[in-house]
């Protein structure tokens, strides 16, 4: 977490603890902090403060957007509503779409939505489509979606549908003003840009109406009830402002480091899962043919390199990646998937250390396989 975000939160966790909905002086101070934070978030999104809804995280934002749009559409049109998403979406979107009998459309080999397939699905189901959800940046591969093209397809084929984007992985890398320009609904998660866990944002374009997922006291303009997490929203706003300011510098420097990391991994025998040209700067997803992710991850972790392969299930086991399956990566490559990511604190020394550890781990595992085979 960004130190400034932490510092900004502390007073609201300790002394300024009032409920921002109250009318007394401490409550008004809490309200002030919340309103100021909302202004900061809105500014970073190129949006109005009234369009910002604070939530408990990216998953709640995604669910609220999809379920809220489905509910509203069904209620006002009188026909069952459909949600549509690409196959490589995060579980937070895909599970909601599938649970509501929605439509999952294929992606291309880079993980981007197949626009022809999307157009066909939207044309087929037309007015029944309440919401289309397409992530701005893929969480496993780092692939950036051309949202302008997606938006044009949605407007052309299903003009009554809302377009939502899960931008949880985008905040670090893309100017969010260029994202909100194309969509109606957008989800963020604070801990992905240096803020606290348990805080999210749902941006709802002015004039767009969805039903609330969480009902109650009517906070957040009746769009998300529950006493606001003032400290969390303040921390999120502080982190987002810093991210917005640093972004051009960080993207430039991390692109250099990421390329160095990728080149080093390729020298160890890895295959770049999708071309780096379509990915954000912080992502170095590769596959090691003939190796197993779980073994690599253990050896890396033992030597202080924290990496991942795909999402973990409730038991903590690494699940087979639905994203790699969606982009038709072979079974052998999928087994050897490794996702290394870089952030604003990553240094050249970190990259070199990671490469040395990976090289050692790969050599050890290849050696073992060779001995087993002989």
Partner 1 sequence: MRVLLGMSGGVDSSVAAAVLRDDGHEVVGVTMRLWGGESDSGCCSVADVDDARRAAQQLGVDHLVFNFSDEFDERVVAPYVEDHRRGRTPNPCIECNRHLKFDRLLDRATALGFDAVATGHHARIVERDGRRWVGRGADHAKDQSYVVHMLDQDALARTVFPIGHLTKDQVRAEAARLGLRTATKPDSQDVCFITSTGGRETFLGDRIPFRRAKVVDPEGVELGELPAVELVTVGQRRGLHLLDGAPRRRYVIDVDHGAAVVTVGPESELMTLEQSVTDLVWADTPVDGPVLVQCSAHGRTSLAELGDGVVRWAEPQRRVSAGQSLVFYDLADERVLGGGLAG
Catalytic site positions: 313
For the bound state, the minimum distance from the C-beta of residue 305 to partner 1, rounded and expressed in Å, comes to 15
CA nearest 70: which of 134, 180, 202, 160?
A: 160
Which run of H or E residues covers position 364? helix 348-373
CA nearest 140: which of 358, 322, 302?
A: 322
For the bound state, the minimum distance from the C-beta of residue 372 to partner 1, rounded and expressed in Å, comes to 7
CA nearest 261: which of 281, 232, 291?
A: 281
For the bound state, the minimum distance from the C-beta of residue 365 to partner 1, rounded and expressed in Å, comes to 6
For the bound state, the minimum distance from the C-beta of residue 309 to partner 1, rounded and expressed in Å, comes to 10
Task: Single out the segment in contact with partner 1 by CB under 8 A; choices: 12-20, 44-52, 189-197, 289-297.
Answer: 289-297
Task: Single out the segment in contact with partner 1 by CB under 8 A; choices: 95-103, 184-192, 310-318, 351-359.
Answer: 310-318
Size of the site for partner 1 (CB under 8 A): 18
Backbone angles phi, psi at 53, to 5 degrees: -115, 125
Counting contacts by CB under 8 A, is residue 313 touching partner 1?
yes
Could you say which of 294, 304, 356, 363 contacts partner 1 (CB under 8 A)?
Answer: 294
- Measured CA to CA in angstroms, residue 161 lies from 86, 98, 104 at distances of 15, 18, 15
Distance, in Å, from the CA atom of 348 to the CA atom of 285, rounded to the nearest integer, reads 18
Could you say which of 14, 23, 25, 316 contacts partner 1 (CB under 8 A)?
Answer: 316
Counting contacts by CB under 8 A, is residue 303 touching partner 1?
no
Answer yes or no: are the C-beta atoms of 72 and 209 closer than 8 Å: yes
DSSP, res 187: E
Of 97 and 310, the one with the shorter C-beta distance to partner 1 is 310
Could you say which of 1, 18, 318, 359 contacts partner 1 (CB under 8 A)?
Answer: 318
Distance, in Å, from the CA atom of 170 to the CA atom of 257, rounded to the nearest integer, reads 19
Of 209 and 312, the one with the shorter C-beta distance to partner 1 is 312
CA nearest 225: which of 35, 21, 58, 31?
A: 21
Task: Single out the segment in contact with partner 1 by CB under 8 A; choices: 3-11, 25-33, 152-160, 361-369.
Answer: 361-369
CA nearest 2: which of 200, 198, 238?
A: 238
Write the interaction track for partner 1 spanning residues 319-358; mark x where CB under 8 A is met and - where it is not: xx--------------------------------------
Counting contacts by CB under 8 A, is residue 359 touching partner 1?
no
Task: Single out the segment in contact with partner 1 by CB under 8 A; choices: 141-149, 154-162, 204-212, 312-320.
Answer: 312-320
Counting contacts by CB under 8 A, is residue 307 touching partner 1?
no
Handedness of CA 271, 276, 277, 278 (dihedral sign): positive
Could you say which of 180, 295, 337, 342 contacts partner 1 (CB under 8 A)?
Answer: 295
Counting contacts by CB under 8 A, is residue 365 touching partner 1?
yes
For the bound state, the minimum distance from the C-beta of residue 299 to partner 1, rounded and expressed in Å, comes to 6
Distance, in Å, from the CA atom of 354 to the CA atom of 345, rounded to the nearest integer, reads 14
Counting contacts by CB under 8 A, is residue 372 touching partner 1?
yes
Per-position DSSP letters for 83-116, written without gaps between them: EEEETTS-HHHHHHHHHTT-EEE-B-TTS-B-HH
Of 28 and 364, the one with the shorter C-beta distance to partner 1 is 364
- Non-local (6+) Cβ contacts of 202 within 8 A are 52, 53, 55, 60, 61, 64, 65, 185, 186, 187, 188, 223, 224
For the bound state, the minimum distance from the C-beta of residue 317 to partner 1, rounded and expressed in Å, comes to 4
Structure token digits, residue 24 = 């007394």
Task: Single out the segment in contact with partner 1 by CB under 8 A; choices: 141-149, 238-246, 252-260, 311-319.
Answer: 311-319
The contact set with partner 1 (CB under 8 A) reads: 292, 294-295, 298-299, 313-320, 364-365, 368-369, 372
């Amino acid at each position: 977490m960004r130190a400034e975000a932490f510092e900004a939160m502390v007073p609201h966790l300790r002394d300024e603890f009032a409920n921002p909905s109250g009318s007394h002086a401490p409550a008004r101070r809490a309200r002030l902090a919340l309103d100021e934070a909302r202004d900061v978030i809105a500014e970073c999104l190129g949006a109005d403060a009234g369009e910002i809804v604070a939530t408990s995280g990216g998953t709640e934002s995604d669910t609220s957007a999809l379920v809220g749009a489905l509910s509203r559409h069904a209620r006002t049109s009188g026909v069952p509503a459909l949600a549509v998403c690409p196959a490589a979406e995060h579980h937070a979107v895909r599970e909601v779409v599938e649970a509501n009998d929605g439509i999952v459309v294929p992606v291309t080999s880079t993980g981007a939505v197949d626009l022809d397939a999307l157009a066909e699905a939207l044309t087929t189901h037309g007015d029944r489509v309440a919401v289309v959800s397409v992530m701005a940046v893929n969480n496993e591969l780092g692939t950036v979606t051309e949202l302008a093209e997606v938006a044009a397809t949605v407007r052309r084929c299903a003009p009554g549908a809302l377009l939502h984007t899960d931008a949880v992985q985008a905040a670090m890398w893309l100017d969010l003003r260029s994202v909100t320009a194309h969509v109606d609904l957008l989800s963020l998660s604070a801990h992905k840009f240096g803020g606290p866990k348990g805080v999210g944002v749902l941006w709802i374009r002015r004039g767009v109406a969805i039903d609330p997922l969480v009902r109650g006291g009517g906070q957040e303009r009746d769009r998300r009830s529950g006493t606001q997490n003032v400290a969390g929203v303040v921390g999120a706003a502080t982190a987002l402002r810093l991210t917005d300011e640093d972004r051009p510098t960080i993207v430039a420097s991390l692109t250099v480091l990421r390329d160095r990391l990728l080149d080093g991994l390729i020298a160890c025998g890895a295959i770049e899962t999708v071309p780096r040209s379509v990915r954000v700067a912080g992502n170095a997803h590769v596959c090691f043919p003939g190796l197993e992710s779980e073994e690599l991850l253990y050896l890396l972790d033992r030597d202080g390199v924290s990496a991942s392969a795909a999402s973990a299930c409730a038991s903590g086991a690494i699940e087979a990646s639905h994203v790699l399956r969606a982009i038709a990566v072979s079974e052998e490559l999928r087994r050897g998937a490794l996702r290394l990511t870089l952030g604003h604190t990553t240094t050249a020394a970190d990259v070199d250390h990671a490469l040395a550890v990976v090289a050692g781990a790969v050599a050890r595992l290849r050696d073992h396989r060779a001995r087993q085979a002989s």
